[in-house]
Amino acid sequence: MKRSLIVAINSYEYEADLRGCLNDAELLSNLLITQYGFHDVGTLVENNATRERILHALTNLLAVDDDEIDPVRHFHFSGHGSRVMDRDNDEIIDQADEVLCLSDYRYSNPQSYIKDDDLREAFNIPSLNSGACRLYVTLDSCHSGTGTRSVGESWVKIEEEFEYDREVSLAASLADFKLGDEALARYAMGREASDDPSLQEQASNGTLNVARVEPDNHLLFSGCSSAQKCKDAPINGGFYGAFTFAFVEILRSNPNISWRALHQQTLDNVKNYSQNPQLEGSEITKDRPVFS
């Protein structure tokens, strides 16, 4: 059985609104149901997508019945993304946790975002650890490369239309947070944790690779690297995430493509948006047909 959870947020209480995330959800939901035979596609949108509801829905999503045959699960997020300072020392390169920003996002309120650590914990369950279930995660938000769109620098004008960055900048996020911590102050000014220029350059252009063991049943496909921004852009008469739109269009044309080939085609498709989609998973998983 194939099941999916899609979270999409356009409207933000304290940050710049986006325009394409709900369109992403509709586009992707239709693809999953009509082309890939997903039995259950749940959605949480706007202010209904609270931290508690998302984590609870993830728990339900990942539940696998004993008699379930070939379970496949999918989680997608379209919305703002940002970074918060890492406080448990598990982020070696940039000392920051990537986060999915909810509609009431504030850096000072941990209930208003979901960290990559939260997703890692949610996915650390027997059905995934044993290989009984396959999980595919797609993220269309800024700084999503290790997760799991930015705030502050909310848009730039492109001819007569606007492209919106799905990002909340850390400096802007800290505006409502009392800075008593020297490390936070340094990070707010954009200082990287690593002083190695080569690592900084690789992190900024999305080519930094950190060695780790990837399970054969878990894959992350994100719209950009952890140092980049995903674009919320005018496409075909509407607004969509550039990554999600490319993802769906490619799969419409080639439904049996592998994740690896999809990644390469998506890279080519969104190169004009200055974002490099990232594919993380084992080599075995990357060569599987999408959503199989």
Of 147, 104, 143, give the one whose Cα is nearest residue 17.
104
Asked: is 2-286 a CATH 3.20.20.70 domain? The reply is no
- Spans of the chain below 70 pLDDT: 85-96, 143-215, 226
Q: pTM, whole model, 2 decimals?
A: 0.78
* Domain residue extents for the chain: 2-286
- Structure confidence by residue, pLDDT tens digits, 191-210: 233 344 454 455 445 444 43
Q: What pLDDT shows up at residue 196?
A: 45
φ/ψ of 10, rounded to 5, equals -95, -40
Q: Give residue 96's identity as a one-letter amino acid code.
A: A
Task: Give rounded-to-5 percent helix, strand, coil for the chain.
Answer: 35, 25, 40
d(CA 40, CA 206): 34
Q: What pLDDT shows up at residue 66?
A: 84
Query: Which of 255-258's residues contact partners 24+ apart within 8 Å by CB, and which partners?
Result: 255/35, 255/36, 255/290, 256/289, 256/290, 257/289, 257/290, 258/286, 258/287, 258/288, 258/289, 258/290
Q: What pLDDT shows up at residue 107?
A: 85
d(CA 36, CA 251): 10
